[in-house]
Structure 1
């Protein structure tokens, strides 16, 4: 049995005549890996050609959608490009103070060493709430992330983290980026959020959360020599099946035990239970 056969059998969450959806394990790239194997190469070496409709980071687990035939690939990629695909991720932070509902509307740019960052200074990020109006995001913390969560109380809803247009860097190419958040559970040390990246830029959720003061635990972009996996998981994906009358399809990858390993048994049970019955809010 090849490595691809094992992954295909153990991580398949949906398959029909047109698509294959896998729950990608952490540490495996979708495609284009230079010095290691990736799913597309594994499949090809095993005699199966697959066409990825999108990508998720190597450090991220969860749903990845492949077209099994090239004639279905174009329609799927257009759906991602037109942002008609609904994507919901789960992120675990070792922080408190994330609002019950929030939106991060911060443009991205590419800085030194090809690192994705916000296209503005941290000090220029502001928070806005429906009941409290604008508030200063506050200074950066020791890790370089904004401590915006110290502004109005976390139950003030909805929150918006943004930056004035006049403060956006004029000398670099910028990419408008929006992420909606819903807090699912908060424990004594951790918070679990559902994140919906509207624009779907590279590293968007990871950078957005870090720059508003809530980096994802284990993220090597913002944590030196992490000792755990990155706790970001592609949970749900909804798309239109053009080959099946255009019906809306939803595929879901239930987080495995490794996603909860930072939590003790009781917290893990409560956090897991918070996923039951969750439906994306209207802002999603």
Structure 2
């Protein structure tokens, strides 16, 4: 595997060691291989780990396949993939409602990851950065190689990957609000989560009203955290569960009315601002 990136003009000068360890989060074992094999080039020339890299430098990283062994993923149907954005390192696709993000068993072949693996084969293999519930549709980000995976994961943890959802809830909301309630596992149903003020993990959801109907409200939700079922649990906790939710309300239509409508991030290698909308949404 070989990757070449040109450092953006806004890049802060640092050593090769800091670039790999602190900026790109390359695992220690792989950093060792890069150093001993002289597997990093600056503008085509070999270098030392204490050398400085500067804005505009062209960085080439050369890796062995054994550094990041590929996993076995059964190939699905590439025609089921709708691409919203793609480059050498990452891909954003529009997930249909009712499709799992990834398999839970090695024999599964009908998840988004299986179909994306078929779409990217044989040159790349997808890696899950975050997930959407099976019932949720919309924009979802994958890494196309294991080198960029921890970097995208860090951006997600640092809350600099912006995600906005469309949702339809029961009842009439009268104002925008922020729900800040800890979420934990439901002790009586392993499929579910619940509000757990003592033992739960922090979870914050911002809710903005888009339009109101007689007994339902269309809203946008923006996440500060990414807990399992976060939007579903938070909205149910204030008496406005999602329409069509089979776990947290009385489902009375074909699908859960939750859609990952927008996803924005700054590319970790180019500083390009990537902004996508997963159309069509729940409403226009």
Instruction: Output the TM-score relative to the length of structure 1.
Output: 0.66
CA shift, 1:242, in A, is: 1.3
Aligned residue pairs, count: 203
Structure with max Cα Rg: 2
Structural mapping, 1:51-200, within 5 Å = 51-96=127-172, 98-112=173-187, 113-114=189-190, 115-119=192-196, 168-169=197-198, 173-200=199-226
Secondary structure of 2:113's counterpart equals: helix
Q: CA RMSD in A?
A: 2.0
**Structure with the higher helix share, 1 or 2:** 1
- Distance in 2 between residues matched to 1:220 and 1:255, nearest whole Å: 23
Gaps of 5+ in 1: 120-167, 260-270, 273-284
- Distance in 1 between residues matched to 2:223 and 2:235, nearest whole Å: 11
Give the corresponding residue for 2:21: none
Secondary structure of 1:205's counterpart equals: helix
1:41 to 114, 118, 128: 114
CA shift, 1:226, in A, is: 4.1
- Distance in 2 between residues matched to 1:85 and 1:106, nearest whole Å: 21
- Change over 3 Å in CA distance of 1:226–1:33 after alignment to 2: farther
Give the corresponding residue for 1:207: 233
Alignment check: 8 A CA contact 1:40 1:49 kept: no
Secondary structure of 1:199's counterpart equals: coil
- Distance in 2 between residues matched to 1:70 and 1:211, nearest whole Å: 38
User: Does residue 94 of structure 2 align to residue 15 of structure 1?
Assistant: no
Alignment check: 8 A CA contact 2:166 2:218 kept: yes
Secondary structure of 2:269's counterpart equals: helix
CA shift, 1:224, in A, is: 4.5
Gaps of 5+ in 2: 1-74
Alignment check: 8 A CA contact 1:241 1:247 kept: yes
Provide Cα deviations, 1:203-222, integer angstroms capped at 9, x if missing partner: 00000001101100001112
Secondary structure of 1:242's counterpart equals: coil
Q: Which has the higher contact order (CA 8 A, sep 6+)?
A: 1
Secondary structure of 2:115's counterpart equals: helix
Secondary structure of 1:243's counterpart equals: coil
Alignment check: 8 A CA contact 1:87 1:237 kept: yes
